A and B are shown apart, each in its own frame.
Chain A
Amino acid sequence: MPQHEVIPEKLTLFQRIGHSIFPGKLRPVIDRQGYRRFFNTLILHFRPRRVPERTLRFTLTWGLGGMSVVLVSMLFGTGVLLKFVYEPLPGKAYESILYLQRHVLFGQLIRNIHHWSGNGLIIVAFLHFLRVFFTNAFHSPRQFNWIIGLGLFFVVLCSNLTGYLMPRDQLAFWAVTICTGMLEYVPAAGPWLQNLLRGGPEVGPATLSNFYAVHTALLPALLIILMPFHFWRVRKAGGLVIPRTPEEDAEIRGESVETMPNLILREVVVALVLFAFILVFSMLFNAPLESQANPGLSPNPTKAPWYFVGIQEMLMHFHPLFAFLIIPVLIIVALLSLPYIDYQAHTAGVWFTSFKGRRTALIAALAATIATPLGILADEYIIDFAAWMHGVPASISNGLIPFALVLAAIAGFYIMIKRRYSLTNNEAIQAIFVLFLTAFLILTVTGIWFRGAGMRLMWPL
């Protein structure tokens, strides 16, 4: 690298300031190349100097990981601003939100950006999770990064839930009452954990200070630790998974190009477009705010935040022990062990595993799209195990029996599809994943739009 000697007398004022911050006798010749090198070594700590050209394709990543980072930064920025106005006391919280919206210049806009970025982050991070799954980017050496990613998603969900309580309006109060109410069904530790989270037997002043501390200190700190860990593992895995068609050799990495400007430029474009989108969206749509929380009056219907409505919908059909504990724990365990299963085929980088995988995924999606609404309707109007089996405890009649039936149906589907299409376990597991995913999405949609007063089924019009 060409360098020249620094002669203090010849420096301009700005160069002198710079020299006092970064002292040294030699300086690289400052030109475009020099800046770029400086940028590459200092700013791009988490990035390799060069990246495989094929991983730059937008249809590999859809920019989802980068979008998550942009949203997190926007949340940090607006969150710090909100902290200056918000008061985390039950009597004051709601008033301070009203003050923010009515009397603080751009207050409503900042709150909207924070609200929509937070909700958007769940969607974007979830799509990122799906992208990684469907491009099979969780196989070795990316196994542990899948786990970190799930951890990050959990932190994002917790951030959203704790933030949900902050305005302390009716929506916030009852959604949090329901969500923390679910903890009561965790055997042994549940009531203790619930008491700890709420800071007492009911959602009250202590709950707000607990959630505020968790929302503004604990979870942001976790994000700051986990995010670089996540990126570092991407770099350690040799960058992103190389996209390929099923016939292509996985070993071919193809051409490499300079990270700066090829990758950085693309990321900046995605970031700016997303930023503009959130800004316009926040100008058009206000974050919801209902009347102040009233512990004596549950609104009808009371729903959990939309990302937990799928679980709430399950509560309509299964005993809480199964809906809130056994089924979610089984799903979490399955997701955590997913990268460590012994797979028959190397499919990293292939969208939907294979051509056969594409077809079976579609079949699974269709099967779930038909079976889930039918199941919901049947459970609502026909099936009533509790009444049919009088005297049997509810955890069996409303829990174990429907759970066993659903499990048997899924096992039957797995065996059927595996034999019928003679699938590898990669494709069969993908089909089951799609089955669960579609069912969960349908449960969520049902809970959000098809449940009216008294949580009865209704047509959303």
Chain B
Amino acid sequence: MPKPQKQHCNDHPGEGSSRRSFLNKLWIGLGIVAVIEFIGIVTAFLRPRKTKAKAGDFGTIIEAGPVEKIPLDSVTAFVRGRFYLARLEDGGFLALSRKCTHLGCTVPWVSGEKKFICPCHSSAFDIRGEVISPPAPRALDIYHVFIENNIVKVETGRRIKRTEFRAEHVTYPKKRIDRITG
């Protein structure tokens, strides 16, 4: 269709042609704007909806219990919070996501071998979430752990991605810090 129109314009240059080409461009421009708007509306419509979380559910701050009740060198599963609370041998806490960093399977803690072993592709992680065997590309994600009035709390609203384990990921109870500084 555009071809004969062009010829027409060339045949009769002058008054009609510039207005026509301007209007044509205007229509195309408006059309593009409309398409962009529709795409915007659709993506906004499809944006993940937020769900309300009840206390103790995933997405809220979860109380894991008093510090001294959690044994050293242990892993406790919090099913509703979707995380593991790991306590290292030196008394530090880590809240590990239960999702394998490879493809998102749920990794169980195999206490006999002291490893998290993913059933999907046999990635393995140690108690700190560090990768022992691939294909997992990164250490297990963590959640922020803090201790208030001697109660361990985990903020499950925000998952923290990390490539490997670092000492600053571990949260220690006050006493230990006192011991170090004092």
Contacts and interface: CB of A to CB of B under 8 A. Distances in A.
B119 A177 contact: no
A298 B135 contact: no
Contact of B105 (A174, A210, A319): A174
A178 B134 contact: no
B106 A398 contact: no
B100 to A, nearest CB: 8
B79 interface: yes
Contact of B137 (A177, A199, A320): A320
B122 A455 contact: yes
A302 B104 contact: no
A301 B119 contact: yes
Q: Which of A180, A199, A302, A456 has the most CB of B within 10 A?
A: A302
B143 to A, nearest CB: 13
Contacts of A319: 135, 137
Nearest to B159: A201
B79 A296 contact: yes
Interface string B84-115: 00000000000000110011111110000000
Given A199-B48, A386-B134, A394-B134, A177 B122 contact: no
B82 to A, nearest CB: 8
B48 A195 contact: yes
Given A206-B49, A316-B135, A394-B134, A177 B121 contact: no
Interface in A315-354: 315-316, 319-320
Query: At the interface, is chain B mostly helix, strand, loop or mixed?
Result: loop
Contact of A295 (B46, B106, B137): B106
B48 A178 contact: no
Interface string A435-461: 000000000000000000111100000
A187 to B, nearest CB: 13
A238 interface: no
A456 B159 CA distance: 30
Contacts of A316: 121, 135
A298 B120 contact: yes
B118 interface: yes
B101 to A, nearest CB: 9
A453 B122 CA distance: 9
A195 B104 CA distance: 13
Given A199-B48, A199-B49, A315-B135, A296 B106 contact: yes
A266 B106 CA distance: 52
Nearest to B120: A302
B46 A196 contact: yes
Contacts of B46: 196, 199, 210
Q: Which of A196, A298, A302, A315 has the most CB of B within 10 A?
A: A298
B162 to A, nearest CB: 15
Interface string A370-393: 000000000000000010000000
Contacts of B62: none
A174 B102 CA distance: 13
Q: Which of B79, B99, B108, B135 has the most CB of A within 10 A?
A: B135
A21 interface: no
B117 interface: yes
B121 A174 contact: no
A316 B107 CA distance: 17
A174 B134 contact: no
B137 A298 contact: no
Given A199-B48, A455-B120, A320 B106 contact: no
A300 B119 contact: yes
B135 A174 contact: no
A234 B99 CA distance: 48
Interface in B57-103: 79, 82, 98-99, 102-103
A299 interface: yes
A453 B118 CA distance: 11
A455 B46 CA distance: 35
Contact of B135 (A178, A398, A456): A398
Contact of A178 (B47, B79, B105, B107): B105
A178 B104 contact: yes
Contact of B122 (A198, A296, A454): A454
A182 interface: yes
B10 to A, nearest CB: 32
Contact of A320 (B47, B102, B105, B120): B102
Given A298-B119, A300-B119, A177 B103 contact: yes
Contacts of B47: 196
Interface string A285-318: 0000000000111111110000000000001100
A202 B107 CA distance: 15
A141 interface: no
A456 B122 contact: yes
Given A195-B48, A199-B49, A386-B134, A181 B121 contact: no
Given A196-B46, A199-B49, A296-B79, A181 B119 contact: no
B49 A454 contact: no
Given A177-B105, A297-B106, A302 B135 contact: no
Contacts of B82: 295-296
Contacts of B106: 295-298
3 closest residue pairs by CB, A with B: A181-B103, A300-B119, A181-B104
12 contacts: A177-B104, A182-B103, A184-B103, A210-B46, A295-B106, A296-B79, A296-B106, A298-B105, A298-B106, A298-B119, A302-B105, A315-B135
Interface of A: 174, 177-178, 180-182, 184, 195-196, 198-202, 205-206, 210, 295-302, 315-316, 319-320, 386, 394-395, 398, 453-456
Interface of B: 43, 46-49, 51, 79, 82, 98-99, 102-108, 117-122, 134-135, 137, 159
